[in-house]
Structure 1
Amino acid sequence: MSIDVNNESGWEVDEQAVLDVARFALDQMRIHPLSELSVIFVDAPAMEQLHIQWMDEPGPTDVLSFPMDELRPGKEGEEPPQGLLGDIVLCPEVAERQGKDAGHSMDDELHLLTVHGVLHLLGYDHAEPEEEREMFGLQKEILQAWRSQRARA
């Protein structure tokens, strides 16, 4: 799995952990091992510009996903397609604030947001209640499995 991580935010982040959780999530979703993903950390002004440009909403947001080849999760027993997943853009400043509000660290919030971004790239959404239950349930399941694996290592 080719995952490029680029920190343009000016914030110190655990890039390796974000890379690890992204790789774990993609493995769990049975994405072809030769697929490509880009994760970019940006500051709040850059995220606000992207948020306005792509979502027509003011203010910085926590995560944006830009799918490329519209890959979907692989099915058991089938060879998954290979391709470009796309870009996940994360804002550590917003993640820090949200983490504090939720009672956990910025790093924990970035891990959650990375999985959230991966799921968006794979076609998951949370606009409707049923979609939200599915996406957030899967997000929780992936994060718990990753944390459990990490604790054993």
Structure 2
Amino acid sequence: MNLEIDLLDETSELSEKDTAYIAKLLNFAAKMEEIDEGTEISLTFVDNHKIREINKEYRNKDSATDVISFAMEEMGEGEMAIVGVEMPRVLGDIIISVEKAKEQAEEYGHSFMRELGFLAVHGFLHLLGYDHMTPEDEKEMFSRQKDILDAFGLQR
């Protein structure tokens, strides 16, 4: 496995098989993105109430969303990079609403695991600096998501 994933399911709704599948997908994505062995991420599954609180606190948006990423490698104003020979690369945190994933899977007409996988890869790519603020960036990010999901076998 490429990534060290600190995985927490606060909802207790996912099976061990579900979380192992998402971990396998993220490791597959890390391999496709040529991420160094031992790179760390945190992945937390929450409910709509919790992700709404996080969205409100950190993004000033008082609504539930599907996925939020907090990239550790993005430097904020006045922050200094911590570097060291033996320090692992820490990409950041991905938080996914299991409730939203279920709602969206039904809305889009595909499986819950396809939606959960899409959200995990979407969040992971944000940690790597991909974004969708401009049409060009959106095209690049969404194309990469599709490439990863298709290659893994999670087509729509």
Correspondence for 2:43 among 35, 39, 42: 39
Structure 1 residue aligned with 2:30: 26
Question: Normalised by the size of structure 2, how large is the TM-score?
Answer: 0.84
Q: Tell me which residue corresponds to 2:134.
A: 128
In the aligned structure 2, how far is the partner of 1:131 from the partner of 1:69? 19
User: Pairwise CA RMSD of aligned residues?
Assistant: 1.5
Percent identity reads 39
Aligned: 1:11 with 2:13: yes
- Following TM superposition, by how much is the alpha carbon of 1:58 offset from its aligned partner in structure 2, in angstroms? 1.7
| Partner secondary structure for residue 151 of structure 2 | helix
Counterpart of 2:11 in 1: which secondary structure? coil
* Aligned-partner residue type, residue 50 of structure 1: I
What's the CA shift string for 1:13-68, capped at 9, x where partnerless? 51011101111111110111111011100111110000111111121110000111
Question: Does the 8 Å CA contact 1:32/1:82 hold for their aligned counterparts?
Answer: no
Asked if 1:140 corresponds to 2:146, the answer is yes
Q: Which structure 1 segments of 5+ residues have no match?
A: 71-80, 149-153
Whole-Å Cα distance in 1 between the matches of residues 92 and 144 of structure 2? 20
- The AA in structure 2 aligned to 1:126 is H
SS at match of 2:153: helix
TM-score (norm 1): 0.85
Q: How far apart, in 2, do the equivalents of 1:95 and 1:11 lie?
A: 12
Alignment equivalent of 1:107, drawn from 104, 110, 113: 113
Structure 2 letter corresponding to 1:7: D
Q: Deviations over 1:98-117 (max 9, x none)?
A: 11111112211000001000
Whole-angstrom CA distance in 1 between matches of 2:90 and 2:73? 5
Deviation at 1:11, TM superposition (A): 2.0
AA matched with 1:100? E
- Partner Cα distance (1:28, 1:82) in 2: 19
Unaligned runs of 5+ in 2: 75-86
